[in-house]
Amino acid sequence: MTTHRYILQPYKGMSSRHVCPECRQKGKFARYIDTEKNIELGTSVGKCERSDRCGFHYRPKNFFADNGIVPDHNTDVASVSVPQPVIPTSYIDTKLLSQTMANYEHNNFIIFLNTLFDSQTVSNLIEKFKIGTSKHWPGSTVFWQVDISGKVRTGKIMQYDLITGKRNKVPFDRIQWVHKVTNAVDFNLKQCLFGEHQLANNNLPIAVVESEKTAIIATGYLPQFTWVASGNKNGLSIDKCNALKANCNGRAVILYPDLNAFKEWNEKAKLYNFKMSDLLEKKATPQERENGLDLADYLIRFKVSDFITPIPAPAPASPIPLPVPEKPIELPVIIEEPIENTFQNESLFDLANAQPTKVTNENPIYVSPGYADFNNPSPAADIDQPKQKLWDIPSFEGLIIPQTLRLDAGSAINDVDACISSHIEIVTANNGKRACRPYLTRLEKIHSLITQN
C-alpha cells in the first residue's frame, strides 16, 4: 500500500469545497492537506473539479518551488511505498454487448444521427463502434470500450436529447457504467480508448478526440481517418497513449482536442511524437472558446457533401476503326423535278453549339477537414430520401395549452406554446422529410400528454 503525506481533502459536504481561484466557481475547489499536521497547504493549492471547463490544478511540489520552501522530506508525496500486487483487468461478456445492439428507435443518440446521415451510414456507424441501447434511462446509449484484442473493458451509459444531440445534464449529469449497473463483483476496471478495436482492422491515419459522440460523427463526415476517443479531457492517459503508439504501425496519430484542452493535449503530443491539430484554435470565437466546443459541433454545421469531391470520369476509349468494305462505284441519279417536303443544306449535328455530357458522381472520394470553409458554412441539407407519404400533423386548436410540460424523466418544456408553434412551422415546411421526423414525434407526444390531461 502507498500512503501520501499531501492529499486532496476528501469530500465532507460543501464546507470541504471552496471557490476556485481560476474560474471563480463556488464549491468546486478541493485543497491539498498535510495529513501529518492536519492543515491545508494554502488557499490556492488544490484542484478544480470542473475538469472540462477549468482544469486548474496547483500541486504541492509547485507550491514549494514557487515559494522557495524546502519540505522536511525528499518529496512532497509518497512517504512510504510498498510494492502493489498486479490485479488482472476485468472484462464484460460480449453477449451483453450483443444484447444491447437493438431497439434503436428508442435510442435518442441514434435518432439524432439519422438527422445527419442516411440510414446506411448510420447502420455502418452502429456496427463499427458497437453502439448499444440501454434502459437505464429512457432513450440512453451505451458506448462500449472494446480493446485492440476485441475484449470488452466496460460500457459508458449516457443520455442525449434526440433533437439537439446534446447531453442531458438536468437535473443531473447522466453518466453511468455498465459494470456498476450490473453489480459486477471485484471488478478491476482498466479503461481503453473508445474505438480502439478499429486499430487492428485498417491502415488509415488515426485521429483522437475527447468524446465518443465526436468520434462517431467525425467518422460519418471524414471516413478517411480511424477515429477514437479518450473519453474526456483528462482521459488521454499513459496507458491509452502507449496503446496508440504500439498499434499505430507507422500511421500518423493526430490529436483533435476540444477548445479547453489544447494546452494539455499539446504536451502529450510532444511527449509521444503525435501530430496536433490547431483547427479549432484558429477558427473559434470567444463565445465558442468559453463553451468548450469540439470538432463535432463544427462538423454538423455543414452538409456531408461539403466534404466530398467527385472523381472525373475516365475518357472513353477510342474505338478501333473497322475496315471499310469495298463497294462498286454508283453514278448519282439525276432528279429533274424537286421533291416536296425535303430540307436542303441541313447539317446532321450542330457542332457549334454542342455541349459535353455531364459526368455523374458515382465514386466520391473524401478530402481533409480543411476542404470545407468553416467561415462560410452552408445550411444543413436534407439527405436525399425516397418520397414519403405526407404526415398528419396533430391539431392543437381548442386545446388548453399549459405553460410548462414534462415530456419524460429526462426532458421538460418551459414554453409549450412557443415549442408547438416552432415545431408546426418546421414540420409543415418539411412534411414527409425523414430528417424532420423527430419534430413530428415531439408534437405527437405533446398532443398526447395535453389530451390525456
Question: pLDDT digit of tens for each residue in the chain (453 aa)?
Answer: 445 688 888 877 777 888 888 778 888 899 988 887 788 888 889 998 887 777 788 888 888 877 777 776 554 443 333 445 678 999 999 999 999 999 999 999 999 999 999 999 999 999 999 999 999 999 999 999 999 999 999 999 999 999 999 998 888 888 999 999 999 998 999 999 999 999 998 889 999 999 999 999 999 999 999 999 999 888 898 899 999 999 999 999 999 999 888 889 999 999 999 999 998 888 888 888 888 889 999 999 998 888 875 555 565 655 555 565 555 555 545 445 554 444 444 444 444 554 544 444 444 444 444 444 445 554 544 444 455 568 888 888 888 888 888 877 667 787 888 888 888 888 888 888 877 888 888 888 888 888 876
Contacts by residues 16-20 (CB-CB < 8 Å, ≥ 24 positions apart): 17/49, 18/43, 18/46, 20/48, 20/50, 20/54, 20/56
CA distances from 18 to 7, 30, 31, 46, 73 (A): 16, 7, 8, 10, 28
264 φ/ψ sector (left φ>0, alpha ψ -120 to 50, else beta): alpha
Strand locations in 4-100 (E): 6-8, 29-34, 39-40, 46-48
| Annotated domain spans of the chain | 6-66, 88-192, 203-312, 405-452
How many CB atoms lie under 10 A from the CB of residue 346? 6
pTM equals 0.56
175 φ/ψ sector (left φ>0, alpha ψ -120 to 50, else beta): beta
> CA torsion, points 290, 294, 297, 298, in degrees to nearest 10?
100
Give the pLDDT of residue 323. 60
Beta bridge partners of 92: 152
Q: Of 412, 411, 393, 388, whose CA–CA distance to 402 is shortest? A: 412
Pairing of strands 253-255, 206-209: parallel
Beta bridge partners of 226: 206
Whole-angstrom distance, CA of residue 268 vs CA of residue 275: 10
Give the pLDDT of residue 374. 45
Asked: is 203-312 a CATH 1.20.120 domain? The reply is no
For the chain, the farthest-separated pair of C-alpha atoms sits apart, in whole angstroms, at 128
